[in-house]
């Protein structure tokens, strides 16, 4: 029987220890949902193990196939440049397929909504609640456009309004979107961080949410995010390159 490719989850990394903690918790959930699948974690910066170190260890063990999955919500610089560069330097004996980033996905919208309900909202509040979809931000126009599209799609599910906001690189900021929703007349204003783990930028989002009524938690190790990881893995492994001699 052909072995399953190893799933290598590639996270950005952070000096904030909460970041790595959330990444490891998410990976544990993925493992629990797919017993028998080997799941490893590598970081681009700040944390260990590094992506390169994990790839070298896998090659030394005799692993031949890897699905490298960027733990990113949008396809911006890290997915387009940083991660492909690291993978190009991997041991040649490894056959590696880079999976797509996590977003957009209906499952992520479900996770965002559940986080808002955990923070105190109810489905009955939707029509009177304006939501700030607060992401980390990017200089990549494609990534910014994706966030705007997600906000429009989410608004059509029944919220009073949904406005995108960004913690860095782009405008508006979270506090500006909160103010806009107040001026629009939404009875309640909620901030939904569209980020995977705690850290510097999520803390900036939280400060910008000071005048909001509700602030949800980051997506973290939610089951919906874990399901998206497995969906991206399954799609990528069906496109694995043909076997070549080492």
Task: Provide the mean pLDDT of the chain.
Answer: 95
Longest dimension (CA), the chain: 65
Q: What tokens were used for 108? A: 């992520």
- Give tens-digit pLDDT for 97-156: 999 999 999 999 999 999 999 999 999 999 999 999 999 999 999 999 999 999 999 999
Which one, of 132, 135, 153, 156, lies nearest residue 144 by Cα? 135
**Ramachandran region, residue 185 (left: φ > 0; alpha: ψ -120 to 50; beta: rest):** left
pLDDT > 90 fraction of the chain, expressed in percent and rounded:
94
Distance CA 182, CA 130 (A): 8
* Range 154-165 average pLDDT: 98
Token pair belonging to 220:
């973290």
CA distance 52 to 43: 9
**pLDDT tens-digit series, residues 34-82:** 999 999 999 999 999 999 999 999 999 999 999 999 999 999 888 999 9
Of 144, 224, 154, 228, nearest in space to 192 by CA: 154
Work out the angle at residue 11's Cα, subtended by the Cα atoms of residues 44 and 110, and round it to the nearest 5 degrees: 160
pLDDT of residue 76: 86
The pLDDT value given to residue 1: 40
Strand partners, 135: 166
Extended beta strands in the chain, E state: 6-11, 39-43, 65-70, 95-98, 129-135, 161-166, 188-193, 214-215
Q: What is the pLDDT of residue 3?
A: 82
Q: What is the reported pTM?
A: 0.94
CA 218 – CA 189 distance, rounded (Å) = 17
For residue range 3-14, list pLDDT tens digits in order: 899 999 999 999
Q: What is the mean pLDDT of residues 153-177?
A: 97
């Amino acid at each position: 029987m052909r072995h399953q490719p190893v799933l290598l989850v590639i996270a950005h990394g952070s000096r904030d220890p909460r970041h790595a903690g959330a990444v490891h918790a998410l990976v544990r959930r993925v493992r629990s949902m797919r017993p028998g699948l080997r799941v490893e974690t590598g970081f681009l910066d700040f944390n260990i193990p590094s992506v390169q170190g994990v790839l070298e260890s896998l090659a030394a063990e005799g692993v031949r196939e890897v699905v490298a999955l960027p733990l990113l919500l949008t396809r911006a610089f890290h997915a387009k440049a940083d991660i492909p560069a690291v993978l190009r330097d991997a041991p040649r004996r490894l056959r590696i397929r880079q999976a797509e980033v996590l977003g957009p996905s209906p499952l992520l919208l479900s996770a965002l909504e559940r986080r808002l309900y955990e923070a105190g909202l109810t489905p009955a509040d939707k029509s009177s609640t304006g939501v700030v979809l607060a992401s980390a931000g990017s200089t990549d126009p494609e990534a910014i456009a994706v966030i705007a599209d997600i906000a429009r799609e989410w608004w059509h599910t029944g919220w009073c309004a949904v406005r995108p906001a960004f913690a860095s690189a782009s405008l508006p900021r979270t506090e500006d979107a909160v103010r806009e929703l107040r001026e629009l007349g939404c009875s309640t204003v909620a901030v939904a961080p569209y980020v995977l783990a705690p850290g510097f930028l999520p803390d900036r989002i939280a400060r910008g949410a000071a005048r909001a009524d509700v602030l949800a938690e980051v997506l973290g190790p939610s089951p919906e995010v874990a399901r998206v990881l497995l969906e991206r893995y399954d799609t990528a492994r069906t496109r694995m390159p043909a076997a070549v001699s080492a």
